[in-house]
């Protein structure tokens, strides 16, 4: 049987990808950011998953205003790094897992989540930057990501975006789906985006270190309460783009301590926690949780 | 329009909702077209001519030509779409975000290194934080006045 | 305040559209089909809605296999009749209602339905045939449909399709959304597709008159029970394409007798009921319900 | 493959699920292309050449060339997609559906006028209805044997 064994949470700041692609990781500005992922890269090697279920948001890349899916699951065999305007990132293409992805889609739709199934999608920094942070620099031609990835895109661009509570419930449905897959697979689920940042207007550059860390504390220890955070709190406290944090709740909801919407099992172990300001406009948050 | 909008009292912030999306539809779709290298070339060769291929309002076109991202946003632009213009110009997200504050690139970068903009005074319209309307533009631009 | 006052249910057989477009409605084969809609055309004139919320399915027209949304709401200003391979039907373009559609999208997403918002969509026979049946022949250039239409597309092409129960719940969420719109609008909700038919394989041409009529009886009088019909029953009893009937449950769920998932208000009045076999491969069912 | 499939015991019926969809991806996407008049023209001018532009399997191409819709479906085709081939040929849905039974057009049309195919004996594989495998092909085609 397949099993979700761990969850990884990380910001997916595009400038981090650019710093890696342009060889700037040793600059003073960037050193502390990447140092926060040294543990994580080793952990990825020691705990190599068979599949990563990667929750991210598309940033007006694969999805224009023609069609805006609330939740979209990628069931294709592969996904190309997107050209977001600067040219595609020089990273390996992303290999999917069509069979597990289709299984999850079927199970989750039957659990009353109204997914959009996507068979053609270029993946932007929201998906590739977390992979780069966790796996290090890879040659786009000769290297490969360590395992297949199922991209799961959440609309956080056009309001209304799904509620934290809905995301948290979805995580539970995804775990149920994975649990019912009959092949033995070690699955990691990643929640990406955030933390506090605002990319627009006179309020651009907003960072809220206290709120971010309090939110992290609560997400770990009281995920049900955290999932009830209303949208407006994210906007007001963590900046207009801080709303991306609802995606972390999908990964958190998929952990095994959550049963029927409540904390009922043993708490996950916090293997690693990191917080740094800034990366470009953004506060970087990162967490690794292992199921017990 | 009868969408509930609990987010109108946040200073310096436009939430991209259905109404903004409708207003900015062609502006944003124009931005999407810049994800193709050949369209970026065509745009750079003759910006006005390229813009005229799109059913955007004249104001939207002016806002793009002026590279005034705040103006673009008021006409319905969304930052993730508008970022494609910045990418075409070789600008980073930090340069784009900073440009909306009136600060110089260095001022904005320094603010970020020092921990970013504080939320104090910037939660609700009418407080006295640096993102409030009466304190614009910020940085050197604001001091010059 | 906007209000849903009535629901209309009808099959959307493409051959019916072709018969109208090619002037065959007076042929012996077609006469009884169109006679079943004589009452309805008059009723439409006497009860002209301000907006029609039209639930249909796309038949591999606007949505290819690249992206398959479970539920998609059209928020555009207009929608063109699609070229499904025979050329576009000669009918007026469909005028949308972006403001109400966006309001419904926002409300329904906040009620935990994970819609896809669609701003570009050609509409196929699933949407235009019901309009033609209820409004009669119209000139594509000089005439117009009687009111704006909000297209709402449901995936019934690739499994898994949403359950009848989920559709029924969605109907209630849509009514709640309409009720909270502050302009005075008379809204009709239409459920289309079905009834029994199978378009494939050695079993093509299956019709199940008894099952269809029992299902209709139950949908009117015991909609909660009807919504619990499992998918496999539709396939087995009403043919592989009979699954389209789940869409009728969205319109039924939006009627005012349904409160908190149960029948609690006064039953709607059955203004008209019609059933005929065949139109091309399909059993034609049709119903008009008015709220009380 | 671990999708639950409670629908495998229905005779003469292929449910278009994720597995079929994956198998038939390019066949169905080829069909979608026939929604453009100019592509229909190109296809009609040289079917083989047009098919060769698509990464379909040779079997899928043969099934299309043979206009054998049952064969197309076994290779992952879905009827709503395949209908675009029929439309290109000027065929109706009734002609397409009928073609999958082995019946002549008239036989199939008459069956429909007489109330359609009965569900009796056609609910489960192994019963004795006219859609069961051991009773194919149907109509005159079946009687000729
Ligand atoms: Fe992001
Ligand atoms: Fe249909």
Would you call A114 and C68 a contact, using CB atoms and an 8 Å cutoff? no
pLDDT score recorded for residue D63: 98
B59 token code pair: 């104001």
Q: How confident is the model at residue D4 (pLDDT cuts 50, 70, 90)?
A: confident
- Mean pLDDT computed over C7-19: 97
- Mean pLDDT computed over B63-80: 97
Q: What angle do CA A189, A6, A232 make, to 5 degrees?
A: 55
Q: How confident is the model at residue D2 (pLDDT cuts 50, 70, 90)?
A: low
List C-alpha distances in Å: A191 to A54, A151, A251. 7, 11, 5
DSSP codes joined into one string, A36-60: TTHHHHHHHHHT--SEEEEEE---S
Residues in chain C closer than 8 A to A65 (CB atoms) = 119
Residues in chain B closer than 8 A to C180 (CB atoms) = 2
- The region, left, alpha or beta by phi > 0 then psi within -120 to 50, assigned to residue B115 is left
pLDDT score recorded for residue B144: 53
List C-alpha distances in Å: B88 to A57, A83, D84, D88. 22, 11, 40, 42
* Per-residue model confidence as pLDDT tens digits over A152-193: 999 999 999 999 999 999 999 999 999 999 999 999 999 999
* Per-residue model confidence as pLDDT tens digits over C218-241: 999 999 999 999 999 999 999 999
Q: Where are the beta strands (DSSP E) in C155-246?
A: 186-192
pLDDT score recorded for residue B1: 47
Q: Name the burial class of residue B7, with classes exposed (0-12), middle (13-18) and buried (19+) by CB atoms within 10 angstroms of its CB.
A: middle
Closest residue, chain C, to A155 (C-alpha):
C116
Q: Determine the Cα–Cα distance for residues A265 and A223; give it in Å rounded to an integer.
A: 13
What spacing in Å lies between the alpha carbon of A105 and ligand 1's midpoint?
Answer: 24
What spacing in Å lies between the alpha carbon of C193 and ligand 2's midpoint?
Answer: 5
Q: Kindly identify the ligand whose nearest atom is closest to the C-alpha of C17.
A: 2
Q: Going by CATH, does the domain composed of C3-290 fall within 3.40.50.10210?
A: no
pLDDT score recorded for residue D140: 85
Residues in chain D closer than 8 A to A106 (CB atoms) = 3-4, 17-18
Would you call B93 and A281 a contact, using CB atoms and an 8 Å cutoff? yes
Tell me whether strands C116-118 and A67-69 are parallel, antiparallel or unpaired.
Answer: antiparallel
**What does the mean pLDDT of chain C come to?**
97
3 state DSSP class of C272: strand
What spacing in Å lies between the alpha carbon of A136 and ligand 2's midpoint?
Answer: 50
| CATH fold of B16-88 | Protocatechuate 4,5-dioxygenase; Chain A (1.10.700)
Among C22, C85, C209, C240, the strongest candidate for a mutation testing the D interface, having the largest count of D CBs within 10 A, is C85
Residues of chain A with pLDDT under 70: none
What spacing in Å lies between the alpha carbon of C115 and ligand 1's midpoint?
Answer: 21
| pLDDT beyond 50 at C128 | yes
| pLDDT beyond 80 at B3 | no
Closest residue, chain B, to A66 (C-alpha):
B29
DSSP state of A268: P
pLDDT score recorded for residue B2: 62
Q: Identify any residues that bridge with C116 across adjacent strands, giving them in sequence order.
A: A69, C72
Catalytic status, residue C125:
yes
Chain C residues touching chain A at CB-CB below 8 Å: 65-72, 105-106, 109-110, 112-120, 158-160, 162-163, 166, 169
pLDDT score recorded for residue D1: 47
Range list for CATH 1.10.700.10 in chain B: 16-88
Q: Could you tell me which residues come within 8 angstroms of residue B93 by beta carbon, excluding any fewer than 6 positions away?
A: A14, A15, A199, A280, A281, B83, B86
**Taking every pair of C-alpha atoms in chain D, what is the biggest distance, in angstroms?**
46
Would you call A67 and C110 a contact, using CB atoms and an 8 Å cutoff? no
pLDDT score recorded for residue D142: 80
Q: Where are the beta strands (DSSP E) in C121-207?
A: 149-154, 186-192
| pLDDT beyond 90 at D107 | yes
CA distance A219 to chain B (A): 21
Would you call A75 and D22 a contact, using CB atoms and an 8 Å cutoff? yes
pLDDT score recorded for residue A130: 98
What is the complex's ipTM, to 2 decimals?
0.96
Q: Determine the Cα–Cα distance for residues D5 and D19; give it in Å rounded to an integer.
A: 11
Q: How confident is the model at residue D82 (pLDDT cuts 50, 70, 90)?
A: very high
* Per-residue model confidence as pLDDT tens digits over C47-82: 999 999 999 999 999 999 999 999 999 999 999 999
Domain boundaries, given as residue ranges, for chain A: 3-290
- Mean pLDDT computed over D15-32: 96
DSSP codes joined into one string, A190-257: EEE--SS---SSTTTTB--HHHHHHHHHHHHH-HHHHHT--HHHHHHHH-GGGGGGHHHHHHHHTSTT
Q: Determine the Cα–Cα distance for residues B92 and D74; give it in Å rounded to an integer.
A: 51
What spacing in Å lies between the alpha carbon of C13 and ligand 2's midpoint?
Answer: 6
In contact, C68 and C153? CB cutoff 8 Å: no
Chain B residues touching chain C at CB-CB below 8 Å: 1-4, 17-19, 21-22, 25
Q: Which of C12, C97, C125, C188 is catalytic?
A: C125
DSSP state of D10: S
Residues in chain B closer than 8 A to A214 (CB atoms) = none
Q: How confident is the model at residue B119 (pLDDT cuts 50, 70, 90)?
A: very high
- Mean pLDDT computed over B94-107: 95
Q: Determine the Cα–Cα distance for residues C194 and C246; give it in Å rounded to an integer.
A: 9
Residues in chain D closer than 8 A to A181 (CB atoms) = 2
Among D16, D43, D79, the strongest candidate for a mutation testing the C interface, having the largest count of C CBs within 10 A, is D79
pLDDT score recorded for residue C46: 98
Q: Determine the Cα–Cα distance for residues A199 and B101; give it in Å rounded to an integer.
A: 10
DSSP element (H, E) containing C125 = helix C125-135
């Amino acid at each position: 049987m397949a099993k979700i064994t761990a969850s990884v949470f990380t910001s997916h700041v595009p400038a981090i990808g650019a710093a890696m692609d342009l060889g700037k990781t040793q600059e003073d500005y960037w050193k502390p950011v990447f140092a926060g992922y040294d543990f994580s890269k080793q952990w990825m090697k020691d705990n190599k998953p068979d599949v990563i279920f990667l929750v991210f948001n598309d940033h007006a890349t694969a999805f224009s205003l023609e069609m805006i899916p609330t939740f979209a699951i990628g069931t294709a065999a592969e996904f190309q790094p997107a050209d977001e305007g600067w040219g595609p990132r020089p990273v390996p293409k992303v290999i999917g897992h069509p069979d597990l992805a289709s299984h999850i889609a079927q199970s989750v739709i039957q659990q009353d989540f109204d997914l959009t199934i996507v068979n053609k999608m270029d993946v932007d920094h929201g998906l590739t930057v977390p992979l780069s942070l966790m796996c290090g620099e890879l040659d786009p031609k000769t290297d490969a990501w360590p395992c297949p990835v199922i991209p799961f895109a959440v609309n956080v661009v056009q309001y209304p975006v799904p509620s934290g509570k809905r995301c948290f419930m979805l995580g539970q449905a995804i775990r149920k789906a994975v649990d019912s897959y009959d092949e033995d697979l070690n699955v990691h689920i990643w929640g990406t985006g955030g933390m506090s940042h605002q990319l627009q207007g006179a309020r651009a550059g907003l960072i809220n270190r206290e709120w971010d860390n309090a939110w992290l504390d609560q997400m770990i220890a009281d995920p049900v309460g955290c999932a009830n955070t209303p949208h407006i709190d994210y906007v007001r406290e963590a900046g207009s783009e801080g709303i991306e944090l609802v995606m972390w709740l999908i990964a958190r909801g998929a952990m095994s301590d959550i049963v029927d919407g409540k904390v009922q099992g043993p708490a996950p172990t916090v293997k690693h926690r990191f917080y740094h300001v800034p990366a470009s406009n953004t506060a970087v948050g990162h967490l690794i949780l292992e199921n017990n | 329009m009868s969408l509930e909008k609990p987010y109108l009292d946040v200073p310096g912030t436009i939430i991209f909702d259905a109404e903004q999306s409708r207003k900015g539809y062609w502006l944003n779709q124009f931005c999407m077209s810049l994800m193709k290298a050949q369209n970026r070339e065509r745009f750079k060769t003759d910006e006005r001519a390229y813009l005229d291929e799109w059913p955007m309002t004249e104001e939207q076109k002016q806002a793009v030509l002026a590279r005034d991202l705040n103006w673009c946003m008021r006409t319905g632009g969304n930052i993730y779409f508008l970022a494609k213009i910045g990418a075409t110009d070789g600008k980073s997200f930090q340069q784009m975000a900073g440009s909306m504050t009136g600060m110089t690139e260095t001022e904005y970068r320094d603010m970020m290194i020092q921990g970013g903009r504080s939320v104090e005074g910037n939660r609700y319209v009418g407080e006295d934080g640096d993102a409030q309307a009466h304190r614009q533009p910020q940085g050197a631009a604001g001091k010059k006045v």
